[in-house]
Amino acid sequence: MTIPTDLTRGDALRSLRDQVTTHVALPGEPGYERCVPWNVAASVAPAAVVLATSPEDVAGTIRFAAAHGFTVTVQATGHGAVGVGADTLLVQTSAMKHVVLDGLNRTAWVGAGARWQDVIDVAAPHGLAPLCGSAPNVGVVGFLTGGGIGPLVRTVGVSSDHVRAFDVVTGEGRLLRATPNENADLFWGLRGGKATLGIVTAVEIDLLPIAEFYGGAIYFDGSDAAEVLHAWRAWSLSLPETVNTSIAIQQLPPLPGVPEPLAGRMTVALRYTAVGDFDEAERILAPMRAVATPVLDTVGVLPYAAIGAVHADPVDPMPVYEDQALVRELPAESVDALLAAAGPNSGSPQVIVELRLLGGALAREPRHRSAFCQRDAAYALTVIGVLMPEIADAVVQHASVVTQSVSPWSTGGQMPNFAPSYDPVRPSRVYSEDTLHWLAALADRYDSARVLATGQVIRTQS
């Protein structure tokens, strides 16, 4: 690939406007600010921003990049953003947010720029559930191409297991349909491989007939952390697949939207969702309700449209740093180690340190196999900190301390959608050796010019 020089870059980029039918913004021009991601800690400063409104805009940008020595990356919301530099064109897909409901077949066609809330707004009034993550303001496509671990994952499996089809533009600038029977290799790799094999412009997903669930969160005072976490560990060992749960040590700042009982203090949030028999779901939760006196209890029968209230993830952009470790078992000793690193009196600067119960339907291979790995993990430990200038270095260093605290029980793995980074060893944590091989081989096939070889994509060594 020929890298553009400073002398030719400006003329080349201006000619990009002749290749697409949408707005192209160069640095300093109106629209360029749309490249700022939700995670504002990521340095995103591309050569140009293409505000795509159609698959043809995406294809035209890729073909232009191949001809002029640029790479191309994509962003809808930027929740999992990593750095983007001046040799890359950024395709911004947030305008492509159409949602077409097929209530009879319980499916939806969803554009690349849609957020899960857009799909919920269309589907929930019909008693249908899109299998979103904990935060409905996250983009649909980025979540699904990373597999998708949602609040009902033990019950329904990884969300990408419920994808029927993709429309995708490859590194050759071709728009293809990927299904189990058409371009099946792409269909395999797009479910878990993130943007390795192309830029998805639309996706067809199953909607499940879930109108309500029993769930919410119970919050305990941080001083009860040891008792609550140890009780949760023992309780989680025998839960049925109808039940999903996580527990998080939280230190939420006193900001608008944070409930007063939780603001400016350490609390422990027990997240809970269950489907099926709601009386049974309440009975299962009862032992945890009795462990300590809650400072706030929001659990009850909720409409599926309120699924985001379970985790109550932040909506406003912020500078976030994440780390993650997957563990094969969670003995009492591992909980003690975690409490020493992130519990009361630890001096932890992290906003959230979460343990999530996995297993259940997640652990089973779907009807159509995918590039998503790590199905054998029993729990996920996720650390989320906010990179405020005065504590940024401490947040990054301490996150490693937290994940290392459970290293004796760790699988060594991570999920595609968590803890994004350019760490060269990260792909081996996310994918098996065989999956890495096949993703790289397919990338060579569908992107031989390496136009999409930027960001967290898998490639053979050049």
pLDDT at 316 over 50: yes
Instruction: For residue 412, give the nearest of 440, 377, 456, 360 by alpha carbon.
Output: 377
Q: What is the pLDDT of residues 96-149, one digit of tens each?
A: 999 999 999 999 999 999 999 999 999 999 999 999 999 999 999 999 999 999
Mean pLDDT across the stretch 182-200? 97
Mean pLDDT of 393-405: 98
Q: Assess contact for 13 and 26: CB atoms under 8 A.
A: yes
Rg of the chain over all Cα atoms, to the nearest angstrom? 22
Q: Is the dihedral of CA 23, 24, 28, 34 positive or negative?
A: positive
Q: For the segment 235-260, what is each residue's pLDDT rounded down to a tens digit?
A: 999 999 999 999 999 999 988 888 99
Residue 182 pLDDT exceeds 90: yes
* Residues contacting 369, CB < 8 A, separation 6+: 188
Residues constituting the chain: 462
CA distances from 327 to 36, 71, 378, 412 (A): 34, 36, 6, 8
CB atoms within 10 A of CB 93: 28
The pLDDT value recorded for residue 148 is 97
For 212-413, the fitting CATH number among 3.40.50.300, 3.40.462.20, 3.30.70.1400, 3.30.230.10 is: 3.40.462.20
| Lookup result for tokens 């099926």 | 276
> Each residue of 163-175: pLDDT tens digit?
999 999 999 999 9
Instruction: Over range 6-27, report the average pLDDT.
Output: 85
Write down the mean pLDDT value for the chain.
Answer: 96
For residue 231, the model assigns a pLDDT of: 98
Hey, what amino acid is at 99?
A: V
In this prediction, residues 191-195 reach a mean pLDDT of 96
- What's the CA gap between 57 and 52, in Å, rounded? 5
The residues facing 245 across adjacent strands are 272
Confidence of residue 361 (pLDDT cuts 50, 70, 90): very high
CATH number of 9-92: 3.30.43.10
Q: Determine the Cα–Cα distance for residues 189 and 196; give it in Å rounded to an integer.
A: 8
Torsion angles phi and psi, residue 171, rounded to 5: -65, -10
What is residue 89's DSSP assignment?
E
What is the distance between the alpha carbons of residues 182 and 396, in angstroms, rounded to a whole number? 43
Residues 6+ apart with CB under 8 A from 64: 15, 16, 19, 20, 70, 89
The fold of 99-209+425-446 is 3.30.465
- Helix (H) or strand (E) holding 322, with range, is strand 320-327
**281 pLDDT higher than 70:** yes
Domain ranges of the chain: 9-92, 99-209+425-446, 212-413
**pLDDT tens digits for 403-432?**
999 999 999 999 999 999 988 999 999 999
